[in-house]
């Protein structure tokens, strides 16, 4: 299968990139690692007039410590994220979820920013983004703006990025001591998309859960926070399996899971509860 024809530009800087994107008009598309976009083009599910390839924009690469947060450049590949000591030390949940993205070859090309800007509700990183309240840095010809993760994911494959905006990077808040993390993913084969996934961060003190952040993958057309679970879990003992199961039973509240050949909404609601329990247990013990 061969994509439909398109024009191609490869800017060498972020300024050039936002100019190229603005000049190319509203049917242009940004090409990051291409691991989601190229299959779409090959299946002729997308017909961009122009691809703006940001693969050689140096400002978009790399991971930096910026005090109270870690900045991850949008074009940092999943593989580079996994190999970043800074990410592993300060954003373990990002590393845990990234390790489950697709397979090694895809992780060599696919990028952190691309996976977020693609906004597939079955993708693993959007749920982590909302769980950790990441801040998305968007660049356009008019300058830079920050979009909180909670407002970034609008709908299926749709973000708050405007037509002339490029996701330049993401600010991942450092959570500090006392937190445990886990990403629990249920999928049919090793490299497949999540049928349901749960990103959990749990702050413990003296054997009690003080605060939890739970992100849900593929339980709606965008990633969700399991707010009812986060409330119910406060004050529970980290080892109280039954109580944690009870809290996790709220995981499907206010969700709108999709139906596809892997399962219907009821199945996914059940999965969300089971996986949230597992994720809580693992994060509380981590």
Partner 1 sequence: MPQITVTVDGITHEVEVEPRLLLVHLLRDRLGKTGTPIGCDTSNCGACTVLMDGKSVKSCSVLAVQADQSDILTIEGLSTDGTWHPLQKAFHEEHALQCGYCTPGMIMASLDLLRENPAPDDDAIRKGLEGNLCRCTGYCNIVRAVRRAAAEMSGREVSAT
Helices (H), 92-207: 92-98, 104-109, 112-118, 125-131, 149-152
- Residues 6 or more apart whose CB falls under 8 angstroms from that of 269 comprise 219, 252, 255, 257
- Binding string to partner 1 for residues 45 to 74, with x set by CB under 8 A, is what? ------x-x-x-------------------
CB of 42 to partner 1, least distance (A): 7
Whether the CB-CB separation of 245 and 270 falls below 8 Å is answered with no
Q: Two tokens at 80?
A: 């580079």
CB of 1 to partner 1, least distance (A): 5
The correct pick among 23, 103, 260, 266 for binding partner 1 (CB under 8 A) is: 103
> Comparing C-alpha atoms, which of 254, 264, 162, 177 is closest to residue 214?
254
> Comparing C-alpha atoms, which of 68, 155, 62 is closest to residue 112?
62
- Binding string to partner 1 for residues 140 to 179, with x set by CB under 8 A, is what? ----------------------------------------
Query: What three-state secondary structure class fits 141?
Result: coil
The correct pick among 89, 105, 227, 285 for binding partner 1 (CB under 8 A) is: 105
CB of 45 to partner 1, least distance (A): 11
Q: Which stretch binds partner 1 (CB under 8 A): 99-107, 167-175, 203-211, 252-260?
A: 99-107
Q: What radius of gyration do the chain's Cα atoms show? A: 19
Nearer to partner 1, 3 or 246 (CB): 3
The correct pick among 15, 25, 26, 39 for binding partner 1 (CB under 8 A) is: 39
The correct pick among 11, 60, 79, 92 for binding partner 1 (CB under 8 A) is: 79
Nearer to partner 1, 106 or 160 (CB): 106
Give CA 141 to chain center in angstroms: 25
Three-state DSSP string of 161-185: CCCCCEEEEEEEECCCCCEEEEEEE
CA 99, 102, 106, 111 torsion-angle sign: negative
CB of 112 to partner 1, least distance (A): 16
Q: Which stretch binds partner 1 (CB under 8 A): 37-45, 119-127, 159-167, 206-214?
A: 37-45
Q: What whole-number distance in Å separates Cα of residue 127 and Cα of residue 110?
A: 17
- Binding string to partner 1 for residues 178 to 197, with x set by CB under 8 A, is what? ------------xx------
The correct pick among 25, 58, 104, 163 for binding partner 1 (CB under 8 A) is: 104
Nearer to partner 1, 34 or 148 (CB): 34
Please provide the size of the chain in residues. Answer: 286
Categorise residue 12: left if φ over 0, alpha if ψ from -120 to 50, beta otherwise: alpha
Nearer to partner 1, 7 or 144 (CB): 7
The correct pick among 17, 20, 21, 35 for binding partner 1 (CB under 8 A) is: 35
Interface contacts to partner 1, rule CB under 8 A? 1-8, 10, 31, 34-35, 38-39, 41-43, 51, 53, 55, 79, 102-106, 108-109, 190-191
């Amino acid at each position: 299968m061969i994509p439909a024809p398109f024009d191609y530009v490869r800017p060498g800087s972020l300024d050039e990139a936002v100019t190229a994107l603005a000049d190319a008009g509203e049917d242009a598309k940004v090409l990051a690692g291409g691991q989601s976009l190229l299959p779409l083009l090959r299946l002729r599910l997308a017909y961009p007039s122009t691809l703006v390839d940001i693969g050689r924009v140096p400002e978009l690469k790399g991971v930096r410590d910026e005090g109270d947060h870690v900045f991850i450049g949008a074009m940092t590949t999943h593989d580079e994220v996994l190999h970043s000591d800074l990410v592993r030390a300060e954003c373990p949940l990002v590393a845990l979820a990234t390790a489950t993205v697709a397979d090694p070859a895809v992780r060599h090309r696919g990028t952190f920013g691309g996976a977020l800007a693609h906004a597939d509700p079955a993708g693993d990183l959007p749920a982590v983004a909302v769980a950790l309240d990441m801040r998305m840095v968007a660049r356009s010809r008019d300058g830079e703006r920050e979009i909180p993760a909670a407002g970034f994911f609008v709908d299926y494959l749709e973000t708050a990025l405007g037509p002339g905006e490029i996701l330049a990077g993401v600010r991942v808040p450092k959570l500090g001591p006392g937190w445990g993390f886990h990403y629990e993913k249920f999928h049919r084969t090793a490299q497949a998309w999540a049928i349901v996934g749960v990103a959990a961060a749990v702050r413990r003190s003296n054997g009690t859960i003080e605060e939890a952040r739970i992100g849900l993958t593929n339980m709606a057309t965008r990633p969700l926070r399991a707010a009812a679970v986060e409330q119910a879990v406060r004050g529970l003992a980290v080892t109280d399996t039954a109580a944690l199961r009870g809290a996790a039973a709220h995981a499907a509240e206010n969700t709108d899971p999709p139906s596809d050949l892997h399962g219907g909404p009821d199945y996914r609601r059940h999965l969300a509860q089971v996986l949230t329990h597992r994720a809580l247990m693992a994060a509380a013990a981590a």
